[in-house]
Structures are given as structure tokens and as C-alpha cells.
Amino acid sequence: MPSLQQTLLFSLSGVLALSSGLLSAVVSGLPLWVGGSVLCLTGAELVNASGPELEKFRGELSYGLLGGRRVRQCGLGGRASSFYFFPELLSAIPVGLHVSVLFFCGVVVLFSSVASGFFFFNAFGRPYETLQGPLGLYLWTAISCVSSCLVMILFASEVTGGAADLMY
């Protein structure tokens, strides 16, 4: 039976890993990861808009992992529309990059869940060490952390390449 300090440490680690896994699963399903505004340069140049008039030509764009929403404004009022990744964005964003983001989101959720399971098992059950002894218990958390960093980097590179193509 583990000592009180080990039980508290493993319990706290398990709660953090479980909350990380649940938060990752919820965030993966949210539609609004990135938001921005785009200027309709053609419309603004036609009427020679400047200063506060430019707001009439500024559209909004927000999207998440599987789709998003855009509001086009070229001086005639906002026209809202929704879009989804697979039918519409295949020409603007590479599919391999997006599939990698989806894959690593799944890895984050999976390995956070595995880590929380091991932490709770060690806190309340018979102590069990995985690969490489006690440090192996933190291997699952490290894999989840590296995968979440990869998700952020890959999604940022995906967004910077195709945001202007989505708007106009």
C-alpha cells in the first residue's frame, strides 16, 4: 500500500490528467479555435474608404477543427455563411496537415486518459510501475504533452496558409 504522500501525489496527478483529457476532448469539438478580421480591399479601394469608413469593409472569420463561420462585408452589409473543412477547404489547406491535427488531437485525449488511469490505479490500488520503472508512469503524460504542442504548431501553420483564401 502506498504512503499518504504517494497517494496524494498520484491522486492529484490523476485528477490533472483526467481534466486534461476531458478538456482536450471538449476543445477538439468546439467550432471556434481561431478568429480574425479581413479587409475587403477591392471594395475599400473602389470608394476610396479611409478611417472609420473602413469598418464597413472589414469582414470576420472564425473557424475550428472541422468548420467555421465567416461574415463578408464589402460595403453592402454583412453576409454570414458557414463552411466545413472537407467539402470547401480542400483547395486552400493541405489535407495531410489537417489529418495530422485530427490524429494528434486523438492522441492527446487517448494518452491523457491512459495516464489518469495509471495514476489512479497507483493511488488507490496496488502500486504498479509501467515501462522504465517509476519514470514510465510519466511517459504517457509526456506523450500527451508533446502531441498537444504538435497540435498547436500544426494548426497554426495550417491557419496562416489558408485564412485569406477562405474569406474572398
Question: pLDDT by residue (tens digit) across 75-98?
Answer: 777 888 887 777 777 777 788 888
Q: Which three cell numbers stand for residue 80?
A: 454570414
The stretch 94-110 carries a mean pLDDT of 89
Burial letters 98-117, b for 16+ CB under 10 A, else e: bebbeebbebbbbbbbbbbe
Side-by-side strand order, sheet with 67-73: 34-39, 58-63, 67-73, 78-84
Domain ranges of the chain: 4-167
Reported as a pLDDT band with limits 50, 70 and 90, residue 161 is low
Q: Is the pLDDT of residue 103 over 80?
A: yes
* pLDDT at 146 (0 to 100): 94
- 74 neighbors 53 (Cβ within 8 angstroms): no
More confident residue, 23 or 30: 23
- Cα separation, 100 vs 37, whole angstroms: 26
| Res 133: pLDDT | 66
Q: Are 158 and 98 in contact (CB under 8 A)?
A: yes
Q: Is the pLDDT of residue 43 over 80?
A: no
Model pLDDT for residues 123-160, shown as the tens digit of each residue: 787 766 665 666 777 788 889 899 999 998 988 888 77
Cα–Cα distance list, 45 to 73, 74, 81, 84, 114 (Å)? 14, 10, 24, 30, 56
